[in-house]
Structure 1
Amino acid sequence: MLYRLEAGPRPDLEDVQGRKVAERVRAALGIAVGSIRLVKVFTADGLDETQARRLLDDGVWHDPILQRAALGTLPPLAPPPDWYVEVGFRPGVTDNEGRTARDTAAMVLGIPRERLAVYTALQYRIRNDPAAPLSHGQVETMARDLLCNTLIQRFRIKSAAEWEAEADFPAQAARVTGEARADVAVIPLSTMNDAELAAASRANTWALNLDELHAIRDHFARPDIAAARAARGLPADPTDVEMEALAQTWSEHCKHKIFASAIDYANKETGRRERVDNLYKTCIRDATAILRARRGERDYCKSVFKDNAGVIAFINGYDACIKVETHNSPSALDPYGGALTGIVGVNRDPMGTGMGAELVCNTDVFCFASPFYAEELPPRLLHPRRVLEGVREGVEHGGNKSGIPTVNGSLVFDERYLGKPLVFCGTVGLLPTSVCGRPGWEKKAEPGDAVVMV
C-alpha cells in the first residue's frame, strides 16, 4: 500500500522558498500570482500504517520545529489556494532525496531498505493575484516552462474546485513498470540499405551516422570476424547489445568526435579559409607542446594529458592541480543536474590525480542568452532565466555546500547562447611535490596494492 506524507512550513513562518518561486514566475513569465507555498511530498511503498505513523510522529522526514506534517493531505492554510501543481520525477529518473529518505526510514524502523521505496515530489499551492485570476492555461505554462523539467519530471494540476471534489492528489509512485527481458535481438546490418540504417539509428537513439554504420557493417562482414563469431556460436550480424555498446563508445560524450574531426573553417568577415585536422590535437595538445618547448628548462608542466587533471609547478613544495570541463548540453537539458554533475566531476578529478590533491577552490564561466528574453522560445528549449538559475544552484550545491568555495568566475550574455548555453566548471587543488619520497604528481597501480575509495 502507498502512504503519502506531506510537510510544509508552519503558518506563522514565512515560506521563503515559495516567495522566491513566486518572484521567478512574475519575472521570467510575466504572470501575476498572489503567493505560492511549497509542500514536500513523500510517497512510501512497503510500509504498514503503524510504521508510516511513526515516521510522522518522530519527525523522520520533516522538521517538527519549522514544519507541520500529515499523513495524506496537509490541510491548506486560509485563505485556501486557488491552484495546486505537483511535480515529481518520471519513472526511472534517479531520486536522490527519495533514496536518502528510504535509507533513513529503514534505519529508524529497523527494516531492510530493499523492501522499501520512497518517491519525492514538490507541491505548489498557488493563490491568485486578486486583480488578475489565473487561468488553467497560465498555470500549465507555469508548470511546463518553470516549475517542471518535462525531460525528467511530470506534473499534475488541480483547481480549488477539483481539489475539493477529489480531496488531494492520489498517491503516485514513479515506478518503472516494464518487465526485464533476457532475449537478444540480431540487427540485420548486412541486408539493410542506407535508409534502413539511418532509420534504425534514429529509432534506437544510436546517434551513428552512415559512415559509422558502414564501418560497423564492413567490420562484421570481414571473413576473419565472421569465422571467429561462428566459432563462438554468435550470429554473423551484431546483436542489439553489441550495437548499444558501439553507439555508447562512439558517442560524442565518450569519443569527442567533433573535436577529433577534420573541420573546414571559413571566416565570413575576412574570407580566410582553414582546414583544422583535430581541434583537440591542434589547438590544445600541440599548442601546449609548443609553449613547453619554448620554455625549455623553465617548463613548469609536471603532468599534462595523461591523468585526471593537469599539474603545474607552484610554490613552497606544492604543485597546482587544475581541471576544467564543459557541461553544455547536460545543463541545457537539466540545468541543475547538469551543472551539479559538472562541478562534482571536476571536484573529483584533482583528488584522483597523482597521489591525490587537496581541493582549494572552484571557478566557473557561464554563457547564457538574456534572462529577460521575451520572445517565443523554440521547441524543447528552456527559458534562459531558468537555465541561469538552475546552473547557479547546481554549482552552489555541488561545490560551495561541499566546502569548496567558488572564488571567481564570469557571466556572459548573448542571444546566440539561447540554443546552447556554455557551462564551464573548474577546480584548483594543491598537490605535494613529494609524497613519501615519490613524486606527488605520479601514480601507478601495482599488483598487490590496496585501493581505497573515500
Structure 2
Amino acid sequence: MGQVVRLEVRDLDCNPRDQRYARNARTHLRIPVFGTETVQLFWLKAQDGAFLPDPEVRTWAERVFSDPVLQEYAFSHTPEFRLSSAGSIKPSFVAQVRFLPGVTDNVGHTATEALSLLGGFAATHGVRAFTGKAVYFYGDLSRGEVEKVALETIGNALIEEILVLSWDEYYQAARFERQRVPEVQLVAAPEVEMVNIEEEDKILERMSRDRCWALTLAEMKTVQAHFAKPEVRAQRAQFGLPTAPTDVEMEIIAQSWSEHCK
C-alpha cells in the first residue's frame, strides 16, 4: 500500500469563505452556527510505495501547498498545530470532506504536477497529491445539525466522502497516522471479450443498441466487412490477435465514429 502522509494547511487570518459557510447555515438552514474555520487537507503518496522523508514533505509544504505569509501547515507529528483554535473557545464538531475513489480531483492533479516540476525525490518516486478539507464548526450544535450543514452546503455526498466527528473525537484521534488515499482498487482480473460480428442485420442492430455503441446498421456492416477482409485477418494473425474484434476495439471504434461522440 505504501506510506501516506497527511498535510494540513490553515489560514492565519479569517477567510471570507468561512464567514459564508456560517452565514448560509444560519440563513438558509436555520442552524445556529456561530462560526466556521476551514483547514485544507492533502494526502501524499509515492507511486512506488517509497517512504516520504519529513524534510522532503516540509519542502513540499512550503513550496507547493502553503503561503508562509498567510498560512501555516502541519503534518506527521507536529503537535503545535493539533489544536488550531487558539484560546478557550474550541470547535464543537469537525466535518471532513474529500473525493470518493475514482472522482476527478483537479486540485490534486495540479498539485501532483507541481511536485513533479520540483524534481528530486517527488519526481523520482512519482509522488501524488489528493485533496480535501476539514471544516471546524463553532457553536452549541448537535451532530445532526452539523451533518445537515455539511451535506447541504459544504459537501456533495454523490462524489465526496463526508465524515462528521465531535472535536474530542477528532482531536484525540491519530489523524496523521494510518492514512489512506481514495484510490480505486480493482480486485477482478481484466477480461477481454471477443465480439462475433458475423451476424445478421437484426443481431447487429441489437448489439449496437445493447452495448450503447450508437452505430447505425450501415456502420456496423462496414465494421463487419473490414474484419472479414483476408488482408486484415492476416495482419491480425501476425500480432496474435483473434479474427473477431475484441470488445475494447469495438468500443474504440464506436467512440471514434458514432454520432453521439462526434
- Would you say same fold, with TM above 0.5? yes
Instruction: Report the CA distance between 1:39 and its aligned residue.
Output: 0.2
Cα shift at 1:38: 0.5
Post-superposition shift, 1:236? 5.6
2:111 paired residue among 93, 101, 104:
101
Match of 2:19 in 1: 19
The 3 A distance-change label for structure 1 pair 17 and 74 is farther
Q: 1:215 to 1:27 in 2, by over 3 A?
A: farther
Equivalences, count: 239
Three-state SS of the structure 1 residue aligned to 2:65 is coil
SS of the residue corresponding to residue 121 of structure 2 reads: coil
Q: Give the match's secondary structure for 2:68.
A: coil
2:99 corresponds to 1:89: yes
Is 1:154 the counterpart of 2:161 in the alignment? yes
CA distance in 2, matches of 1:236, 1:217: 16
Q: How far apart are residue 174 of structure 1 and its match? A: 2.7
Question: How far, CA to CA, are the matches of 1:91 and 1:121 in structure 2?
Answer: 12
Structure 2 unaligned residues grouped into runs of 5+: 47-51
Q: Higher strand proportion, which one?
A: 1
1:244 aligned residue (251, 257, 262): 251
Take 1:29 and 1:215, find their aligned partners in 2: how far apart are those partners?
56
Structure 2 counterpart of 1:135, from 136, 139, 143: 143
Identify the match of residue 62 of structure 1 among 49, 61, 66: 66
Alignment correspondent of 1:178: 186
Question: Equivalent residues in 2 for 1:413-428 (5 A)?
Answer: none
Q: Secondary structure at the match of 2:133?
A: strand
Query: Partners in 2 of 1:32 and 1:214 — Cα distance?
Result: 61
In structure 1, C-alpha distance between the alignment counterparts of 2:95 and 2:210, rounded to whole Å:
38
Task: Name the CA distance, whole Å, in 1 between partners of 2:91 and 2:21.
Answer: 15
Using structure 2 for the length normalisation, give the TM-score.
0.70
In 2 relative to 1, CA 196–27 (structure 1 residues): closer, same or farther, beyond 3 Å?
farther
Sequence identity of aligned pairs in percent?
Answer: 26
Structure 1 pair 98/30, CA: closer, same or farther in 2 (3 Å)?
same
Letter in 2 for 1:14: C
- Give the 3-state SS of the residue equivalent to 1:244 in structure 2: helix
- Looking at structure 1, the residues matched to 224 and 113 of structure 2 have their Cα atoms a distance apart, in angstroms, of 51
State the partner residue of 2:233. 230
Q: Give the unaligned 5+ runs of structure 1.
A: 256-454
What is the alpha-carbon distance in structure 2 between the residues aligned to residue 221 and residue 60 of structure 1? 53
User: Over the residues paired in the alignment, what is the CA RMSD in angstroms?
Assistant: 3.7
Larger RCO: 1 or 2 (CA < 8 Å, sep 6+)? 2
CA contact (8 A) 1:220 1:237 kept: no
Change (3 A) 1:248 1:90: farther
CA–CA separation in structure 2 for the residues paired with 1:246 and 1:29: 50
Partners of 2:205 and 2:25 in 1: CA distance? 45
Given the superposition, is the C-alpha separation of residues 143 and 196 from structure 1 closer, same or farther in structure 2, using an over 3 Å criterion? farther
Matching of residues 185-196 of structure 1 within 5 Å: 185-188=193-196, 190=199
Q: For the residues of structure 1 that align with 2:96 and 2:66, how far apart are their CA atoms?
A: 18
Note closer, same or farther for the CA distance 1:227–1:54 as it changes in structure 2 (3 Å cut): closer
Equivalent in the alignment of 1:123: 134
Question: Does the Cα contact within 8 Å between 1:220 and 1:238 map onto a contact in 2?
Answer: no
The alignment partner of 2:21 has SS state of helix
- Give the whole-Å Cα distance in 1 for the aligned partners of 2:74 and 2:159: 27
Shift of 1:27: 4.4
Structure of higher CA gyration radius: 1
1:49 to 37, 47, 54: 54
Deviations 1:338-384 (A, max 9, x none): xxxxxxxxxxxxxxxxxxxxxxxxxxxxxxxxxxxxxxxxxxxxxxx
The answer (yes or no) to whether the contact 2:82–2:171 under 8 Å persists in 1 is no
